Amino acid sequence: MITKLSADAAWDAEPTLTFWGAASSVSGSMHLVEAAGKQILLDCGMYQGRREEARQRNSHFPFHPEQIDSLIISHAHIDHCGNVPTLVKQGYAGKIYVTPPTFDLLKVMLNDSAKIQEEDAAHINIARNYVEPWVQPLYTFADVDKVLDRLVSVPYGRETKIAPGVTFTFAEAGHILGSAMVSMNMEYAGGIRRLTFTGDLGRRGIPLLKPTAPIPEADLLVCESTYGNRIHASLDDTIEKLYAAIRMTMDRGGKALIPAFSLGRTQLIVHFLQLGLRAGKIPKVPIYVDSPLAADISEVYRSHPNALDPIVAEAVREGHGILGGDGVQFVRSFEASTELGLRPGPHIIIASSGMCDAGRIVSHLKQNVDDPRSTVILVSYQASNTTGRRLMEPKPTVFFQGKEWNKWLEVVHLDGFSGHADTHDFLAYLAPLQGKVGKVRLIHGERDQSDALAATLREHGFSDVVVPQPGDRELI
Ligand SMILES: [Zn+2]
């Protein structure tokens, strides 16, 4: 366990980084910087995996939360911010630095997460017939309120001092609204050291958001590698396939069900559907976004036009239907969602979750899985052992919600909408840093993806590229 250094010893010590989460995996992003005698946490993401393991990992930190001095969050996806309430509950009392859009998104995302934690605990207690001691939620709405009190909004590009001799600056990551790279400068007796943490990086050429900024030079670059060994399908082709699937479904009088995560993917799909409507590439049918969470998130998108692509921002200011209007209706209440399920097609329904295992998409799927006029359009990666993945299997039936269903609806899988950089994007972002960056450490990727990107980078002249293990500590 880390102990506090005297002021002189702290000044002498070289800054270090310890990889605690999303090292050789993609879940629970969390990295600890020690510099100038201070401990600064980068991200505090929720580990998502099997229930018991996730509970253990999320409720036990490998350091003392009360000894952390500062926390910087890269973006509002739950695997990067979802465990902050636990950190605060366990004694963290410092500031939490975020970009202005992330400031607003965290309120929505963490309250939704608290709701899930509370429902989850209630579900387990019912299943155990209320045997004492009751299972407690990982955190509650009250814990989230304490997080929100600690948030400090820092605009992109503004160098901010967080400790004597330690500053950081946010740069645009282009992944979701508010996403940022974190570039840190740390003074010590031997000089100054620079660290860049990319968070999650977006793709080139994705509309809606601002493009990814140049990656800041650093002595140690900590870079994500989710799709380090993949070339995404062309976005233009993918959009045309989306339109074609919708035209076919609407011609049949069916429903097009689009499972999508509420933050990021839903806004992107709505944007493409509105472009398709305006260009006459899809018929004028109602588009329902059946998700109160997505409705709240879309409000945040609309309230930060300066963080969006300039063309989109202009349209928002002029009152055009971006993320709403132009046939798009948000469905908030449970009653309205039930009523929507009974309404005949043709229409389009977007709802979470992205892999069809939870959320309102499940009831729409139940109602339409045996309707040959309808289509489920999968617009995200589908992990194994999910309903989404099972829908893709070439079988006449599909198992979900405890039973085998006749699968008579059409299934279309489009994997070109990813919000993460692919191999070509990484090379484009990293090539200018060749010779200007010391060590490169690849995180946030399954081992095969990270290893492949490491090999590619070595081929392109980066000499010191390593995929760290959880707990590895590195001089910056
Ligand atoms: Zn992300």
- pLDDT at position 176 is 94
> DSSP 3-state assignment of 294?
helix
Please give the single-letter amino acid code of residue 366.
Answer: K
Q: Is the dihedral of CA 174, 175, 176, 179 positive or negative?
A: negative
- HSE toward the beta carbon, residue 63, CA cutoff 13 A: 24
- 198-212, 323-337, 367-381: which range is least confident on average? 323-337
Task: Examine the domain organization and report whether 20 and 135 are in the same domain.
Answer: yes
- pLDDT at position 321 is 57
Tokens of 229: 């060994």
Q: Measured in angstroms, how far is the CA atom of residue 419 from the centroid of ligand 1?
A: 8
Task: Examine the domain organization and report whether 444 and 397 are in the same domain.
Answer: no
Q: Is residue 198 part of a domain?
A: yes
| Distance of alpha carbon 170 from alpha carbon 145, whole angstroms | 24
Q: Measured in angstroms, how far is the CA atom of residue 172 from the centroid of ligand 1?
A: 13
| Boundary of a domain, candidates 413, 430, 456 | 413
| Boundary of a domain, candidates 392, 413, 434 | 413
- pLDDT at position 384 is 80
Q: Measured in angstroms, how far is the CA atom of residue 469 from the centroid of ligand 1?
A: 20
- For 154-194, what is each residue's pLDDT tens digit? 999 999 999 999 999 999 999 999 999 999 999 999 899 99
| Distance of alpha carbon 226 from alpha carbon 150, whole angstroms | 30
Task: Examine the domain organization and report whether 308 and 448 are in the same domain.
Answer: no
| Distance of alpha carbon 42 from alpha carbon 48, whole angstroms | 18
Cβ atoms of residues 31 and 42 within 8 Å? yes
Residues near 30 by beta carbon (within 8 Å), at least 6 away in sequence: 20, 21, 22, 41, 42, 43, 44, 45, 83
- pLDDT at position 9 is 76
If you ran DSSP here, which 8-state letter would residue 7 be given? Answer: H
CATH (domain of 254): 3.40.50.10890
Name the residue range of residue 188's domain: 7-230+419-475
> DSSP 3-state assignment of 258?
strand
Question: Could you give the number of structural domains in the chain?
Answer: 2
Q: Measured in angstroms, how far is the CA atom of residue 42 from the centroid of ligand 1?
A: 14
Task: Examine the domain organization and report whether 168 and 208 are in the same domain.
Answer: yes
Q: Measured in angstroms, how far is the CA atom of residue 372 from the centroid of ligand 1?
A: 35
In this predicted structure, the answer to whether residue 366 has a pLDDT above a threshold of 90 is yes
Q: How far is C-alpha 287 from the geometric centre of its chain's CA atoms?
A: 24
Cβ atoms of residues 207 and 29 within 8 Å? no
**Beta-carbon neighbours within 5 Å of ion ligand 1:** 77, 200
Q: Measured in angstroms, how far is the CA atom of residue 444 from the centroid of ligand 1?
A: 10
Q: Measured in angstroms, how far is the CA atom of residue 200 from the centroid of ligand 1?
A: 5
pLDDT band at 105 (very low <50, low <70, confident <90, very high): very high
Listing DSSP states for 336-377 in one string gives HHHHHHHS-SSEEEEES-TTSSSSTHHHHHHHHTT-TT-EEE
% the chain with pLDDT above 90: 74
Tokens of 316: 């928002």
- For 258-275, what is each residue's pLDDT tens digit? 999 999 899 999 989 988
Task: Examine the domain organization and report whether 114 and 171 are in the same domain.
Answer: yes
Q: Measured in angstroms, how far is the CA atom of residue 107 from the centroid of ligand 1?
A: 17
Task: Examine the domain organization and report whether 219 and 332 are in the same domain.
Answer: no
Q: Measured in angstroms, how far is the CA atom of residue 204 from the centroid of ligand 1?
A: 15
Q: Is residue 2 part of a domain?
A: no
Q: Measured in angstroms, how far is the CA atom of residue 345 from the centroid of ligand 1?
A: 34
DSSP 3-state percent helix, strand, coil across the chain (nearest 5): 35, 25, 40
Task: Examine the domain organization and report whether 31 and 125 are in the same domain.
Answer: yes
* Mean residue pLDDT across the chain: 92
| Distance of alpha carbon 239 from alpha carbon 416, whole angstroms | 8
